Structure 1
Amino acid sequence: MSKVAGRKKRIIGTTAALVAISGGAAFAYWTATGTGSATTKAGTTTGFEITGTATGGELSPGGPTQKVTFTVKNPGTGVQKVSKVDVKVANTDGTTWTSSTGCKTADFAIADYDFTAKELEPGGTATGTVTLQMVNSAENQDGCKGATVPLHFAAS
């Protein structure tokens, strides 16, 4: 029986040693931390190019209208969405217009706006239209005879 007991002790001792060694290896690890960064540059072209053309008869107080067709172009290198285009009688920088002869923004009305929002691929275009009319005012509008009426477009 002492042979069996000695043998059991060796098996138990060997097993315990193996468990201790393998158990210690299973829980060994390195700790680490790290950080990193990267930069890139996005394009700078984010504006639209807008052009317009008016067709129709000469404007006069309460007279005929002109249809203005405008085109919005994406000159950038990525897709840009144009949601709307505001059109008004104004200087090229959007400030209130008054001609040197006394014709002014209030002498005109813009109506019948037609434009659909659209995503524009690089170089892509979208078109829209508005109607321009000279209003019939209670004031003398002689200052508008032969005036060049500026339209300002603002896309967003």
Structure 2
Amino acid sequence: MRKMTKKNRVLAAAGALALVAGGGGAAYAYWTTTGTGSGQATNSAGGGTVTLHANFAGGLTPGDSRAVTYTADNADLNSSTKVGELTATVTTDKAGCLPSWFGVTAVTSNTTVAKTSTGTSVGSGTLTFNDSATVDQDACKGAVVTINVGSV
């Protein structure tokens, strides 16, 4: 057997390449088709729970009122949420200081609370300590008045 020279090796490689490129001895096939499809994924639960706050100045006396601001915190990392209608009620920490002696309003702003935000203003209102001319309201002296706020 004879040794292949560099020139013969180059010619042999070029010939093999021409044979493959020309399709000599090679075969291929393909299919054609039509079709339809669909996919689905579940969204995050989103619209999670916000923490609502009622903020107002202290020092109420019978017949006095205070402006109330309502804010929201949204700790959700993925989704903003909307605060709808606000509801507010009053509680006190002293027996005999009746929540019914207080009135509170909550004007709603239908505000979107961005994800991971704090202190977003979502409404306003008024807290009133109704003066009773017929009942001694001394039980409310030094009482802590709490506004409980919710959203629907």
Q: TM-score if structure 2 supplies the norm length? A: 0.61
- Confirm whether residue 88 of structure 1 aligns to residue 89 of structure 2: yes
Post-superposition Cα deviations, 1:61-80, rounded to whole Å, max 9, x if no partner, equal: 21x21112121122222131
Residue 78 of structure 1: aligned partner: 79
Q: TM-score if structure 1 supplies the norm length? A: 0.59
Runs (4+) off by over 3 Å: 36-41
Asked if the contact 2:47–2:82 (Cα under 8 Å) also holds between the matched residues in 1, the reply is: no
Report the identity percentage.
24
Structure 2 vs 1, CA of residues 86 and 41 (structure 1 numbering), >3 Å: closer, same or farther?
same
Higher helix share: 1
SS of 1:106 mapped into structure 2: helix
Q: Displacement, 1:47?
A: 0.7
CA distance in 2 between counterparts of 1:80 and 1:45 reads 4
Task: Provide the aligned length of Structure 1 versus Structure 2.
Answer: 112
Q: Displacement, 1:81?
A: 1.5
Q: Displacement, 1:86?
A: 1.0
Q: Partner letter of residue 146 of structure 2?
A: P
SS of 2:67 mapped into structure 1: strand
2:108 to 115, 129, 152: 115
Residue 102 of structure 1: aligned partner: 96
Asked if the contact 2:94–2:143 (Cα under 8 Å) also holds between the matched residues in 1, the reply is: no
1:140 to 125, 136, 139: 136
- Confirm whether residue 51 of structure 1 aligns to residue 62 of structure 2: no
Aligned CA RMSD, in angstroms, stands at 2.6
Q: Partner letter of residue 70 of structure 2?
A: F
Q: Displacement, 1:134?
A: 0.8
The runs of 5 or more residues in structure 2 that have no matched partner are 1-37
